[in-house]
Chain A
């Protein structure tokens, strides 16, 4: 689920790679890349919290 979300997010960030200009001294594509990294981090943190599936109880 989390990996699917990350993939969707990455796909939606692709158009930013073709927008000219700068944000805070970074080209738009670099800013988008940085933003996608931040979102990726949030997704992984959520995945660790919600989708941490160890062995089933009886197997432990």
Chain B
């Protein structure tokens, strides 16, 4: 166990936490009321504020939010405050369509985003296109997070559990509790993971600020080491901010697992309260991580890019001689593992529901709900097996392609956000816009052309073309 970050009690705590997830899965199985897709994929549509909010919170904040955001703030300084705004903007995105979608979904018993597209436009090709984009984005999310959890397990156990074994072990735990109780198990485990994440960030913030001081206490040192943190944002910086905001506003707000959580709310009031709590969370989760990372620049000034991703851990390790710090480090690791697991399990559940409801059910319309639920569970195991294989075996050179997700996913936003308010919007206009947006984005990303012309993301250019095409085709249809 040379170089292990967790001591034996830390590994024991983590093992108990993982075991508790399986037990929650069993509890979810016993709590299920019927063998139906509605019960399995939406938890019977009965989540109250606590569970709904915590599952939204844990799902939205992935491992990247905990580790990647701190690294980014360390490298870019106060410019990365944009992350606080964009995490809030996602809720603004929900507000554009969730109030009406929730009512329609309640009345029509929707399970997936494909159900809404099918109901709204009645066009198989468009529904399958949207579902395919959703599956691609979610599979991508699963892959990157599985790879991250493999690295974390390997590092914190000092290599006692290797990268591949770590991925297989975590994937096995997730697929077991997911197939036992479906959304109920996922949401309940998310609730535990959400609490761990919040407590982890809060306690770590308190410990680090107490021992290292705040950015105000370290002002002179930070200013002398990183003067660029205090210069005015350039026009290019500001365009980058705007582009990121647009991409996240339209991309993350239409994630299929987020829409599934909107469907699963017990009632409208529950959904509204959960969203209101979600708006506050960037100030309590993202902001503390930025402050920690900027404080770190005064104490760990020369970190490389990969080292900067471990900046929180480095700060905690330097305090390891202080009594009780082992527990704080364990809490940080548990919070990171929780953030990743809650994202992967939700993505897996959403993909399985998209496959079962929008693809398999269409091919075999006469099958019973019991049969469909069974197919969904089998699919989850196959999917997880495939994702684990890819996470372990894909060469790093093609990881860039896999990271293309939001840029493509945000192209489905007009189909949902405009479709819900614009009664006469035709499926041909939506399909044309979506097609042009996706193709243009892929050309920018995969060809040798600059992927961010004028500092604007390829996905945002794609979205602009998507909307222009949509309005043009809709205008021609109306003119006939």
Q: Which residue of A lies closest to B77 (CB)?
A: A30
Assess whether A37 is in contact with B272, with CB atoms less than 8 Å apart.
no
> Can you list 11 A-B contacts with CB-CB less than 8 angstroms, sorted by A residue number?
A3-B92, A22-B230, A29-B232, A30-B78, A30-B81, A37-B282, A40-B92, A48-B91, A48-B272, A52-B99, A54-B102
**Smallest CB–CB gap between A53 and chain B, Å?**
6
Asked if A11 is at the interface (CB within 8 A of a chain B CB), the reply is no
Question: How many chain B residues touch A (Cβ–Cβ < 8 Å)?
Answer: 37
- Which of B92, B100, B217, B219 has most chain A Cβ within 10 Å? B92
Assess whether A48 is in contact with B275, with CB atoms less than 8 Å apart.
yes
Within 8 A of A (CB), among B369-385: none
Q: Which residues of B contact A47 (CB under 8 A)?
A: 92, 95
Asked if A26 is at the interface (CB within 8 A of a chain B CB), the reply is yes
Question: How many chain A residues touch B (Cβ–Cβ < 8 Å)?
Answer: 30
Chain B interface residues toward A at CB < 8 A:
78, 81-82, 84-85, 88-89, 91-92, 95, 99-100, 102-104, 106-107, 214-219, 222, 229-230, 232-233, 268, 272, 275-276, 279-280, 282-283, 287
Q: Which residues of B contact A59 (CB under 8 A)?
A: 103
Q: Which residues of A contact B275 (CB under 8 A)?
A: 48
| Inter-chain residue pair count (beta carbon < 8 A) | 90
Assess whether A27 is in contact with B272, with CB atoms less than 8 Å apart.
no
**Partner of B276 from A48, A51, A53 at Cβ < 8 Å:** A48
Q: Which residues of A contact B78 (CB under 8 A)?
A: 26-27, 29-30, 33
Q: How far apart sit A51 and B216, CA to CA, in the bound complex (Å)?
A: 39
Assess whether B100 is in contact with A53, with CB atoms less than 8 Å apart.
yes
Asked if A18 is at the interface (CB within 8 A of a chain B CB), the reply is yes
**Smallest CB–CB gap between A46 and chain B, Å?**
9
Q: Which residue of A lies closest to B277 (CB)?
A: A45
Q: Which residue of B lies closest to A60 (CB)?
A: B103
Q: Which residues of B contact A18 (CB under 8 A)?
A: 232
Asked if A17 is at the interface (CB within 8 A of a chain B CB), the reply is yes
